[in-house]
């Protein structure tokens, strides 16, 4: 067992690293906003909007599968060779065969996403953009934007595996070094080219460097042997890996479709109903909130391995009530703290957020203040629940249930309530806001309300099942 007391030991290190990276990201966001303005930011967001959509359609959650496999190895203390053999490999297969096979598959998916998204974005450019911006959309810039998101997707596999593969010190050093390098590259490129093209080129350069750094760190840890061609699994072995987890991967791909409808398509939807200025402010508000979720990210980095291993113990030991009780207690504490933090932060934002945005980013971004406050509440809710719900879902192999709950939340929130709010706020002017701010509030509310609907359905069912049915029996059903 990996108790939470042990996980607490290096929490301060993760918090310090994430706060440092959050400050670095905040400085980077200020520089981009002041150098380019909301309109250029909106153009860059729309250029890059197709690629996340394609990625989510192709994503089968391979990083999460690899993380679950690593935690299973650490929990059961089995030899990796026997685990590999049980999946259909020959005796003596390299210990990183499963991880390397999934990595190669994940990189292939990233390459496919780049090719498909480039073609789709180029063909749809006359629909996505106003005529005055079409002349700036050269094929090379579109390709660069698609590469930036695809490279970030490829790198996500290696970042996730670091949670169970390297020490906390090495993990935080890698995180800070990557953030500093990202800031330097972005500052250099955007200062020379303060346009949407500069934002896209900077994002692509930073994503490529981050990918190379994280691959090198993971390879150095011995978890994966991508640099050793002889250690690469063949096509048959990769097929056996995927076939052994076909149910998990199918449900993971289903969840990818749901994410495509939620976080993959939101900017695209806003761009179809609103001008580029609103798109830029929406992207700014969502990006600023994502960057500010430093404490949540630190908690997730620190506690997810412990929660995942505890949940694995619950599935492997029928009578292990201690692990289950510890998980439930952690879930309750997490949700209470998330609610308290949300109330405090929302109160501070209500009085000071507008002044903070004007001070650091300029008056052009002030209309986004209400949307930033709404996205912040959503981020806190997502973090306080998903920190335990996601590893719990992985351990119980209940990805299908999680995906169905997310689908219901997305349809009701982003495609039902968002458009209802958009019509209500912009057509009836129920609030004394401008059309720009009203549009931002409507789409931010719809995006955020996905989380409580999704998590209420998933958590209610999972916790009921966990209490009523022994996990090992449910896994064998």
- Give yes or no for residue 331 having a pLDDT over 90: no
Write down the pLDDT at residue 11: 60
Write down the pLDDT at residue 111: 94
- Give yes or no for residue 143 having a pLDDT over 70: yes
Query: Average per-residue pLDDT in the chain?
Result: 77
CA distances from 333 to 104, 298, 393 (A): 39, 16, 19
DSSP at 417: I
Q: Which residue would you say has higher pLDDT here, 246 or 431?
A: 246
CB 50 within 8 A of CB 269: no
- Give yes or no for residue 245 having a pLDDT over 90: no
d(CA 48, CA 267): 9
Other Cβ atoms less than 10 A from the Cβ of 9: the count is 10
Residue-wise DSSP of 216-227: HHHHHHTS--TT
- Give yes or no for residue 274 having a pLDDT over 50: yes
* Residue 300 binned pLDDT confidence (cut-offs 50, 70, 90): low
Question: pLDDT tens digits for 333-354?
Answer: 777 877 787 788 878 888 888 8
- Give yes or no for residue 92 having a pLDDT over 50: no
- Residue 345 contacts by C-beta under 8 Å, 6 or more apart in sequence? 376, 377, 380
* Residue 86 binned pLDDT confidence (cut-offs 50, 70, 90): very low
d(CA 417, CA 304): 32
Question: pLDDT tens digits for 401-422?
Answer: 888 888 999 999 989 999 999 9
Q: Which residue would you say has higher pLDDT here, 386 or 279?
A: 279
> What is the number of structural domains in the chain?
1
Question: pLDDT tens digits for 427-477?
Answer: 777 777 788 889 999 999 999 898 888 888 877 766 555 444 444 433 333
> Which of 418, 405, 411 lies closest to 374 in space, CA to CA?
418
* Residue 319 binned pLDDT confidence (cut-offs 50, 70, 90): very low
> Which of 431, 477, 189, 168 lies closest to 315 in space, CA to CA?
477
Other Cβ atoms less than 10 A from the Cβ of 412: the count is 16
pTM: 0.75
Highest mean pLDDT among 177-191, 278-292, 403-417: 177-191
> Which of 443, 200, 471 lies closest to 316 in space, CA to CA?
471
Helices (H), 48-138: 50-58, 62-76, 80-86, 97-123, 125-128, 131-134
Write down the pLDDT at residue 147: 94
Q: Which residue would you say has higher pLDDT here, 304 or 120?
A: 120
Q: Please list, residue by residue across 166-193, b when 16 or more beta carbons sit within 10 angstroms of its beta carbon and e when fewer do.
A: bebeebbebbbebbebbbebbbebbeeb
Other Cβ atoms less than 10 A from the Cβ of 227: the count is 11
Highest mean pLDDT among 126-140, 176-190, 266-280, 433-447: 176-190
> Which of 451, 407, 445 lies closest to 424 in space, CA to CA?
445
pLDDT mean over 234-251: 74
Question: pLDDT tens digits for 187-229?
Answer: 999 999 998 889 999 999 999 999 999 888 877 766 555 545 5
Helices (H), 260-320: 266-273, 276-292, 294-316
Highest mean pLDDT among 7-21, 138-152, 340-354: 138-152
d(CA 382, CA 388): 10
Query: Residue 449, exposed/middle/buried by CB under 10 A (0-12, 13-18, 19+)?
Result: buried
- Give yes or no for residue 134 having a pLDDT over 70: no
Residues spanned by the domain of 414 = 4-476
Least-confidence region, from 18-32, 72-86, 116-130, 336-350: 72-86
CB 57 within 8 A of CB 260: yes
Write down the pLDDT at residue 350: 80
CB 454 within 8 A of CB 405: yes
């Amino acid at each position: 067992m990996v108790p939470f007391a042990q996980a607490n030991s290096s929490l301060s290190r993760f918090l310090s690293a994430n706060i440092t990276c959050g400050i670095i990201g905040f400085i980077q966001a200020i520089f981009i906003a002041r150098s380019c303005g909301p309109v250029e930011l909106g153009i860059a967001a729309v250029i890059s909007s197709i690629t996340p959509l394609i990625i989510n359609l192709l994503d089968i959650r391979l990083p999460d599968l690899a993380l679950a496999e690593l935690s299973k190895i650490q929990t059961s203390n089995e030899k990796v060779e026997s685990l590999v053999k049980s999946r259909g490999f020959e005796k003596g297969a390299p210990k990183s065969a499963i991880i390397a096979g999934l990595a190669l598959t994940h990189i292939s998916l990233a390459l496919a996403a780049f090719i498909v998204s480039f073609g789709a974005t180029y063909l749809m450019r006359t629909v996505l953009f106003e005529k005055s911006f079409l002349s700036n959309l050269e094929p090379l810039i579109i390709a660069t934007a698609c590469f930036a998101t695809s490279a970030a997707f490829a790198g996500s596999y290696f970042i996730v595996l670091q949670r169970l593969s390297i020490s906390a010190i090495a993990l935080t050093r890698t995180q800070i070094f990557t953030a500093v390098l990202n800031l330097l590259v972005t500052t250099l490129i955007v200062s020379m080219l303060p346009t949407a093209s500069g934002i896209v080129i900077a994002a692509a350069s930073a994503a490529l460097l981050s990918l190379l750094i994280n691959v090198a760190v993971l390879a150095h840890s011995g978890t994966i042997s991508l640099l050793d061609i002889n250690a690469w699994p063949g096509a048959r072995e990769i097929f056996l890996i995927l076939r052994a987890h076909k149910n998990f991967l199918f449900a993971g791909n289903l969840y990818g479709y749901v994410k495509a409808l939620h976080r993959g398509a939101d900017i695209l939807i806003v761009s179809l109903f609103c001008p580029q200025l609103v798109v830029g402010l929406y992207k700014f508000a969502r990006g600023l909130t994502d960057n500010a979720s430093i404490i949540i990210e630190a908690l997730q980095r620190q506690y997810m391995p412990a929660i995942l291993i505890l949940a694995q113990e619950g599935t492997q030991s029928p009578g292990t009530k201690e692990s289950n009780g510890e998980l439930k207690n952690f879930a309750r504490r997490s949700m209470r703290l998330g609610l308290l933090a949300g109330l405090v932060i929302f109160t501070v934002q209500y009085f000071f957020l507008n002044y903070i945005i004007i001070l650091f980013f300029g008056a052009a971004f002030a209309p986004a203040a209400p949307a930033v406050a709404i996205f912040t509440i959503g981020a806190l809710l997502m973090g306080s629940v998903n920190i335990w719900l996601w590893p719990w879902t992985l351990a119980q192999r209940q990805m299908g249930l999680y995906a169905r709950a997310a689908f219901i939340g997305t349809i009701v929130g982003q495609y039902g309530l968002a458009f209802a709010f958009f019509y209500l706020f912009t057509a009836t002017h129920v609030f004394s806001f401008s059309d720009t701010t009203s549009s931002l509030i409507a789409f931010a509310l719809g995006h955020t309300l996905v989380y409580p609907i999704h998590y209420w359905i998933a958590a209610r069912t999972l916790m009921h099942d966990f209490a009523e049915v022994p996990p090992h029996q449910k896994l064998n059903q």
